[in-house]
Amino acid sequence: MDCEAFADLLSSRGQQALQAAMAAGLQEKNLLPDLERLRKEYGSALARSAVEMALLRTRAAAKFSRAREMYFTRDALEQASGERISSHRAQRFAEHASVGDFGCGIGGDLMALAARTKATGIERDAVRAAMAAENLRVCGLIGHASVQAADVAQCEWPDVGALWCDPARRENGRRIFSVRKYQPALPTVLEWQRRVPNLGVKLSPGVQRREIAGLPAEVEFISEGGGLKEAVLWFGALRTTDSRATLLPGAHTLTAMLGASVGTGSLLRYLYEPDPAVMRAGLVQTLAVMLDARKLDEDIAYLTSDSLRQTVFARAYEVDDALPFSLKAIRARLRERGVGSVVVKKRGSPLDVDEFTKALRLSGSPEVERTVFLTHVEGRPWAAIARPINSAFNMDQTAEAHSDSQNSF
């Protein structure tokens, strides 16, 4: 969609076409009849724009509470953080009177910032900038934030006390993995600190730690609902520690415990599977100390203990059987217990999960389910048959372990 097409969509006739497209309950697998009907009434170009936006609004509902009123491009929506994550990050900027969102896209983060402070977005893509401005309007944030269609490298910067940047990590629909190939590249973004020291930068959650090693920044890994979503670099006054894991909802946050160290050993009564944000943040040792647990292997992130501790930072399982890896022995144990359904998890095992599951030849009741862990214990292939514990842990309380910072977000 170009600027002209977006302007047409914002016109009175364009809004009629968009509402008609949304009322049709479009599905991508069966678009042609509805698209043809809209073409006859509104013309090909406007019908195509309306259908595209209606489909994007449906997708965006998982990220934005007011998605049915907002505007998106496909790439911008795929890259945008959901409201919960944007709101969490925006809290760091609340003490700054003004914040710049450089490369604001369609305005997802800009809206979260505008809810807490004065925000100015700069976006070089004219269509995205126009959509960001419209999204601010429909969300009632005009006056709290503004958008400028410009290139950060060439325009006059707003007078701000902190900066936020979410670089593009896709090109022609393909993911960009190296921070040096982001748009703008991370080295370019870091140059901005010469003018504004307080800087936050969004990264891919799979960022290679060697690419950001040595930077004077806090790296925060954020998961939502158990899924790892993103990494953030915090510089200047926005930095509070070296490494942080944050779990949403609830803003549960974990930082390093100074001198945390645990040994390795055999499987005990309980097995803990740390949240992926904890693992990416390098905080497994800290979590182990909190849980009075030990690692199974120096290179494996599973933890084990004879005591069950409440935590939101790991999922707990009660171990039924622990044994050296043997397909025959595992199959026999599962049959003894009448198991007819398994979830297979592995760390350190080269086995294909699907092929392993088929090889088990389960014959028990589908209602009897177990989790089978394929891993290493002190360097040896090992397996555990376990049951997940349906935790009644309080997810609304923030559990923390602190290093040099007493701030939580």
> Domain locations in the chain?
3-60, 77-253, 270-388
Residue 394: which pLDDT band, with cuts at 50, 70 and 90? very low
363 has a pLDDT exceeding 80: yes
Locate 387 and state its tokens.
């049951």
For the sheet with 294-297, list strands across it. 294-297, 300-305, 270-274, 314-324, 380-388, 365-377, 339-346
How far CA 109 is from CA of 30, 81, 101, 132, 246, in Å, comes to 33, 7, 8, 10, 18
262 has a pLDDT exceeding 50: yes
Q: Residues 6 or more apart from 324 whose CB is under 8 A from it?
A: 380, 381, 382, 383
Q: How far apart are CA 301 and CA 282, in angstroms?
A: 10
Residue 28: which pLDDT band, with cuts at 50, 70 and 90? confident
Does the domain made of 77-253 have the CATH classification 3.40.50.150? Answer: yes
Q: How far apart are CA 314 and CA 284, in angstroms?
A: 10
Cβ 112 vs Cβ 200: under 8 Å:
no
Average pLDDT taken over every residue of the chain: 92
400 has a pLDDT exceeding 50: no
| Average pLDDT value for residue range 74-99 | 94
* Cα–Cα nearest to 36, from 25, 23, 53, 21: 21
- Chain centre distance of CA 386: 28
25 has a pLDDT exceeding 50: yes
Q: What is the pTM of this model?
A: 0.89
* Cα–Cα nearest to 82, from 99, 66, 103, 98: 66
Q: How far apart are CA 263 and CA 378, in angstroms?
A: 10
Residue 399 or 308, more confident: 308
pLDDT score for 391: 54
173 has a pLDDT exceeding 80: no
| Average pLDDT value for residue range 98-102 | 97
Q: How far apart are CA 44 and CA 48, in angstroms?
A: 6
